[in-house]
Chains A and B, each alone.
Chain A
Amino acid sequence: MLADLFISVLFIVYAISVLMGFGTILTWVERKQAAVMADRIGANRAYIRIPGTDVKLVWWGLFHGMADGLKMLVKEDFKPRTYDWYAYAVAPWVVFTPVLLVFAVVPFGGTLTPSQLFAPLAAWFGDKSYPMQIATLDGGLLIIFAFSGMTIIGAMLAGWSSSNKFALLGALRAGSQMISYELVLGLTLLGLILVYGTVNLDEMVRHQSGTVLGFLPAWGIVYQPFAATLFLTAAIAENKRIPFDLPEAESELIAGYYTEYSAMKMGLFMFAEFIEIAIIGALFTTFFLGGYNLPFMNDTGFVFPGGGTAAMPHGAVVVTQMTTFLAKVFLLCSFQILIRWSLPRFRYDQVLTFAWKFLFPLALANLVVTAVVMWALGK
């Protein structure tokens, strides 16, 4: 019992530190990647001076994240004269918390058997093994939709309680946009549920460790390439980033629904956005890129399409799986940043037209085709 608790706490600490780490590092990655894409150098002036010396550590501008955090902590916490102070204060947390909670059902590794890692642990753990995810739920996918839908409430609350017309307009845009794209997001994943026959994320990943047609890794993107594209598009729109940043379009709405927020409350909105980049990357990895597995890899080692196998010790498997997951998530984050710095913003009517007249029918068609194919294959 105590061992289970220990493992759970370990996983929770790992998950939170991974998310916070991604949130912090992505502020830096975003700046630097945008700079490199534009032939610039990027933020490189924040430094830490070694006390007593003139040595300034710059480290490619990595300390800018710390400088930002410090700035947000010591800035004036502006309080607008609003009639709904409670909603105003609670809104950033309503946006921030569900983003963290989504990660609870995402598997970030295969199975962990502590007794195989360290022999002395066998007395304590027995030969129990734990799937490496915080909550092993059968309805993991449903949990994801439930929580990611909650961020809409936070955005609407923030806009409504700010007593600011720009904020209210931003909140309205956020509401309509996120509700539209939530629908597309759900529809694209229905095809995957048909293929895998489960909504348990861990089982979904296990389904992807085999091969298709003898040589392709059985990743979701191979089964459902169309759904993968639609999912990524809808997910970026969910996250309200350029090209879908209508709710906070600064040239039109100052900062949209968080116009009236300052200091760390504003920082929470920004941080939630950056963590959600990582979450989108994690979800896309889990659904379409084989999760924590390298191609042709499962919990015991590699099974190559030619028939060759390469068994690996348990510790190596665990480390490889966790690293692979982080690497895939990071690459996807980088891809999202590439999109954000390449495409111009949509017009508001174009965003909704795009969702309802383009993505929605395509997602439906994808679902129908998948269903027919699955029926024809007799599964």
Chain B
Amino acid sequence: MTKRTFVRKRYWNEPQMGWYEKAYLPEILRGLAITGGVFLRNMAKWMTGKKGALTTYYPEETRWDYARGNRGKHVLVQRPDGSPQCIACNLCATVCPAKVIEIEAAFDPADAAHPKYPAKFEIDYSRCVFCGLCVEACPEDAIRMEKEVPTLPSPDRHVMWLGKEELLGWKPARDAAKPYPGRPATDKDRT
């Protein structure tokens, strides 16, 4: 039986180290200088009252750079008179994969055009997955999502419900940037 000697496999991307790198200490010092430099730079920022980190203090600060299409907190759209445009059809609650929307319908004989309206409209943000299916399902364009996320951090999951009053935050008729009712653009507009 022949004696087999161990031959270490050579890899194509093996690091090529000269004597300087093999001396170990200079390279260690170079690495320490890099990390120490970062430390001193950030420390100087903290000391002079600037923020030396990239992190956002989440509940106290929210990011300003959410994408325009970000799906955040829900908004119940209002009619010009301030009543919710929702007709309590329950389509959003039905399509919701996390089953977080709870609607209680009520009847208003005074409003002949929209007699059915939501007496309660509640969303549990501890379970909401922000998929946006409710927005797509709504036949009346009564629910939309703004780009800011709801800031409800809490150790208790039972306080993360938002009701109709909180969700009715945005009245499009008063918002010059987002005129309502949104009119689909026609050829006449483009000219």
What residues of chain A have their CB less than 8 Å away from a CB belonging to chain B?
Answer: 33, 35-41, 229, 338-339, 341-343, 358
Contacts and interface: CB of A to CB of B under 8 A. Distances in A.
Contacts, number: 41
A41 B32 contact: no
Nearest to A37: B39
Interface of B: 24-25, 28, 31-32, 34-36, 38-39, 42-43, 46, 52-55, 57
B35 A338 contact: yes
Contact of A39 (B31, B34, B38): B38
Contacts of A35: 53
Contact of A343 (B28, B39, B46): B28
Nearest to A229: B25
Contacts of B24: 358
A338 B39 contact: yes
A37 B52 contact: no
Among A36, A338, A341, A343, residue most surrounded by chain B Cβ atoms (within 10 Å): A36
B32 A339 contact: yes
A84 B28 CA distance: 43
A33 B36 CA distance: 10
A343 B25 contact: no
Contacts of A339: 32
A342 B32 contact: yes
Per CB-CB distance, the 8 closest pairs between chain A and chain B, nearest first, are A342-B35, A37-B39, A36-B42, A41-B53, A41-B55, A39-B54, A37-B35, A40-B53
Contacts of A343: 28, 31
Nearest to B45: A36
A356 to B, nearest CB: 15
A341 B35 contact: yes
Nearest to A60: B46
A336 B52 CA distance: 22
A39 B42 contact: yes
18 contacts: A33-B39, A36-B39, A36-B43, A36-B46, A37-B35, A37-B38, A37-B42, A39-B42, A39-B54, A40-B53, A40-B54, A41-B53, A338-B35, A338-B36, A339-B32, A342-B31, A342-B35, A343-B28
